[in-house]
Structures are given as structure tokens and as C-alpha cells.
Chains A and B, each alone.
Chain A
């Protein structure tokens, strides 16, 4: 038992561990059952947005509702692409570099922003996002401006002695495994941070910054830390996307994309670490299923949102919690009462 882990969960932790392991194994076996390029593409996009949505939630739990997250994804994507294109650096190096540069910009923009809270923070973050996207249109020689950036190198093939060469251009399967590993890695870090004293401090600041600072929590410091972590993984997700898609347009990182990310998190539920994972999966895959509706597909998206807002104010993950609580109460009632 350490900070964040002292909820009365009893001895059911191993069930959780088995469930997670099972899910991950299932995801690793998925390409055996799915050979459609289109489905694999959808799964890859889901994985990329899962990283982005989970990192956005890290910022959200520190009480900062950022409307600039897609812009930080874009920042990582553009930095990684430009370094790979212009300087011929390997993407294995430029992807972390993209994450680091998103983190640096996040910290530089975030530090003065610690003076504003709640809706005022959101408003300023909106303009930070717009400024980043505007910047992508400025240095046209490097960014391609409004036409977009083309000719981004794919991930280089990997040769391990004794094994067949992994070529990322051969099919979507190597990319699927790359993003699956990346997602598991990023989510493990985010999960570990949230369930530590750091995560507790973030949540404490969100609940009452006055109380938090009265017990010695450095409000500005922890808020900037949340931004640093969140923007880093947004940058990683964006950079990975760049080397997968190989074409970037700055309009895909604008205001609407940031709002979309927020919707993924809110529909999934901010209260649980798995909220954004569920939200992204549902909101990326379900509109794809309803693609045959063509122009009406956005209505499906909107419909899901309304249903969630009305019936699941805690998000889809919150619904699981509600059911679990009900079930537990039911169990408790079945037990004989203590007579003392």
C-alpha cells in the first residue's frame, strides 16, 4: 500500500492484473484475426489518439482544462518530421525529440499560465494552441504552410540478426505493433505517475488549490509538471503519427481537434484512468462503423455525446463504477449482519 493505492480494494488486485494482461495479449494477437488494411488503420489511429487522450487527462486531473492538446501533438509531429526530412535524422531519435520539444513549449507556456485557473486557464490555453498552429504556417520552406508537409520518412526497417527484417512499408502490421508497444509504454508511465504521491498532489490541487498550498504542495510546480508530462506524450503521439501518415496538414491539429480530444476524455470519463481509453475507442471506431451514413456520421457522434451527458455524467468508465458499486452493495446485503 502506497499513496493512491489505499482504497479498500482488498485482494482483488490479481484479478485486475490478469484482466490487463489478457487484454494486452488479445491486442497483440489481433492482427492474426484482422487482415483488413482499413481495420488495422482504424486501430492504429485509435492507439495514437489513446496516448493523446490519456496524456490530456493527466493535465485535466491537475485541474487544468487545456484546449491546446492537439496543437502539442502537432508540435511534436512537425518537429520530428522537419528534423527527419531536413537533417536526415532517424525517426527513432526525432520522435523522442518531438516529445521533448512539445514538453519544453508546454512548460514555457504553462508557467505564466499558473497564475490563471479554471475557465481563464482554458481560454488562454486556447490561444496558445492557436498560436502554435499559426506558427506551423509561417516557415513555409520547412513546414509546407497550408499545402502541408509531404515526404516525411517512414519508420526505418529494423534488422535483428537471425530474424526476418521488419519493414514498415510492407504492411500495416509492423506499424500496429509499434504503436501498440508505444501505447503500453506511455500508459504505464502515466498510470504509475497518477497512482503515486505526484498524482495525489495533482488531484488535490484540482479539488482545492488553497488547501493544497496550505499543506505544502507547490501549486505552480505541480501544475507545470502535469503540463510537462502531458505535452511530452502528446508530442510523442503526434510524432509517431507523422511517421505513420507521412503527410501532415496543420489544420488537423487545430481547435476542433483539441476539442475532439477533450470529448474523448469526457465521454470516457475523467474519474478513471481507463476513461480516455474507452472514450477514444468508442468515438474513433463507432463513427467508422457508421461511415455508410456519410454526411450523417457526425450526428452519430453528437448522439453518443448527448446520451453520455444525459445518462452517464461520469463518462462510460463511470458507468462501470456505478454498476460495480451497486453490485458490491448487493453483495454486502447478502452477508449476515454483524450483531454487536
Chain B
């Protein structure tokens, strides 16, 4: 398995936000993680990316245990993420947002950066080239020099994806990538996600808007921090547990 959680548990005081969750993602897949509000989806993301430390259980990435590691080390291993809100560097331009996010390789030392050695300049030029490629991939070249805070919401969301791509992720965790977008923007964002996947990046995404689930190879449904169903969108839709979680009564829908 590429990414796997084993009996993953997170308690907030007496509340178990995630309880003994077992889920897995295969390399090259697009997997959707859905569930009602408060089901623990974002908590799972925060646990995988190291922003929260698990209370119990393990997270395995490519066979290595990554549970409880610092976020920047997890990013270094190739796990990129976006946040539910369009968090970005508001005082940087779009291009600077992406360039700044190239932190992992090629890496320059303190002295190289201080003296701006030829090798430092070479590495930075390489980064600029790579950043331009990402800019074109997500289609933000038109707003390259706009400050992050002045971007419209849809562009901000695209920029957060572009930024996550800068770490050359092997798996990308997208937290509500199309929330708050117009229909047009949703279609465009979905085409970008397709493009990212076609470059060989595995994707795990959380979304309330079911339109995006047409992209997913597989859907995992969680409720109260536990997996209640898994399978294709069609299979999940028929599942009694899922209906109960979403609509409250078994005879609903």
C-alpha cells in the first residue's frame, strides 16, 4: 500500500475525532474521502501531514512509518497538501508564492545563499523554470504578478494547488479543492486535478460537492472518525450505513 492508516486514533479531550481508522490509498489513484460535517475528514488530513500528532495507531507512507513526524519532514517525503480555506502567502505575488514553495530540492546552504554563489544562482534559475511550468499547468500565468491577497477566490484555490505541486509531491491531499467555486471554475479545477493525476501524482481529496466524485476511482466514507463504507460512488450511494449517516433515517432517500 502507498498510504495506509492503521488503527489511527485522535482524541480531543474526551472526544474521539478519529477512532481506529483503517484506510488505504494505492499509488496512482484518486480517492475521495467523504462524510457528514464533523466526521473527522480534516482531522485525518492533519494527522497524515503531521499538523496533529495521533493519539494512537500508525500512518504508513510507502512502507515507512510517518506518524507524529513534523509537517516539514512529511512534506519532504513527498506528501503535499492544501487547506480547507485558501491559505496562501497573501503578501507575495502568485509567482513568488510558487517559487517560495520550492524548498526541498535543489537545496542551497546558508553560505551559498549569503554569497549568491554560481551554484546557488543555477539552482534558483532551475527553480524559476520549474515554477513557470507549474504556473502553466494550473493556468495562472495571466495573474503571475498579482498579490495573493488580491486574487479572486477561485484563483486562490488554484494557487494553493500550484503551491503544493512545488514540493514535487508523490501524493497530494486536497481539502475541499472546489469549495466556494462557480460552476465554470469547478469544471476548470477538475480538469487541473485530472492533469495533475496524469503526471503520476496520487490524489486523496475531501469534498462536500459530489460533482468532483466523478473523478474518483474510489470513495471512502467516514463518520464519527470511523470508516463506514468504501467502494465506487455507485456502491457507496446504495450503502445503508451511508444513508443513515447522511439522512439520519434508514428509510430516507
Contacts and interface: CB of A to CB of B under 8 A. Distances in A.
A6 B128 contact: yes
Contacts of B101: 215-216
B134 to A, nearest CB: 12
A196 B116 contact: yes
Given A3-B124, A201-B103, A215 B75 contact: yes
B130 interface: no
A214 B88 contact: no
A7 B99 CA distance: 12
Contacts of A197: 100, 103, 108, 113, 124
B75 A213 contact: yes
Contacts of A211: 83, 87-89, 163
A200 B164 contact: no
B125 interface: yes
B100 A2 contact: no
B127 interface: yes
B103 A208 contact: no
A216 B115 CA distance: 23
B62 interface: no
A6 B95 contact: yes
A214 B96 contact: no
A204 interface: yes
Given A2-B120, A201-B100, A215 B164 contact: yes
Contact of A216 (B72, B113, B124): B72
A200 B131 CA distance: 15
Interface in B153-187: 163-164, 166-167
A111 B110 CA distance: 18
A327 to B, nearest CB: 18
Interface stretch (A79-87, A145-153, A217-225, A230-238): A217-225
Contacts of B93: 7
Contacts of B121: 2
A322 interface: no
Contacts of B113: 192-193, 196-198
B235 interface: no
Contacts of A193: 113-114
Interface residues of B, number: 41
Interface string B21-43: 00000000000000000000000
Given A207-B92, A208-B88, A210-B51, A215 B128 contact: no
B70 A213 contact: yes
A8 interface: yes
Contact of B104 (A1, A2, A210, A216): A216
Contact of B116 (A2, A210, A215, A218): A2
A217 B103 contact: yes
Given A214-B81, A215-B163, A216-B104, A6 B96 contact: yes
B110 A225 contact: yes
Contact of B89 (A2, A192, A204): A204
A216 B75 CA distance: 5
Interface in B31-71: 49, 51, 70-71
Nearest to B82: A214
A158 interface: no
Contact of A192 (B71, B87, B96, B116): B116
A215 B167 contact: yes
B91 interface: yes
Max chain B Cβ within 10 angstroms of own Cβ: one of A3, A213, A219:
A3
Contact of A208 (B81, B87, B167): B87
Contacts of B104: 216
Contacts of B166: 215
A125 to B, nearest CB: 23
A3 B127 contact: yes
Contact of A198 (B72, B83, B91, B110): B110
A117 interface: no
B116 A217 contact: no
A41 interface: no
Max chain B Cβ within 10 angstroms of own Cβ: one of A1, A197, A213, A219:
A197
A208 B81 CA distance: 14
Interface in A225-262: 225
B211 to A, nearest CB: 26
B124 to A, nearest CB: 4
Contact of A200 (B76, B99, B163): B99
B249 to A, nearest CB: 39
Max chain B Cβ within 10 angstroms of own Cβ: one of A2, A192, A203, A217:
A2
B42 to A, nearest CB: 13
A6 B99 contact: yes
B114 A215 contact: no
9 contacts: A3-B100, A3-B124, A193-B114, A196-B113, A203-B92, A203-B100, A210-B51, A213-B72, A216-B104
Given A1-B125, A2-B124, A216-B167, 7 more contacts: A2-B120, A2-B125, A200-B99, A200-B100, A208-B90, A211-B83, A214-B75
The 10 closest A-B pairs by CB, nearest first: A216-B75, A2-B124, A196-B113, A215-B101, A213-B71, A216-B103, A207-B89, A218-B72, A200-B100, A216-B104
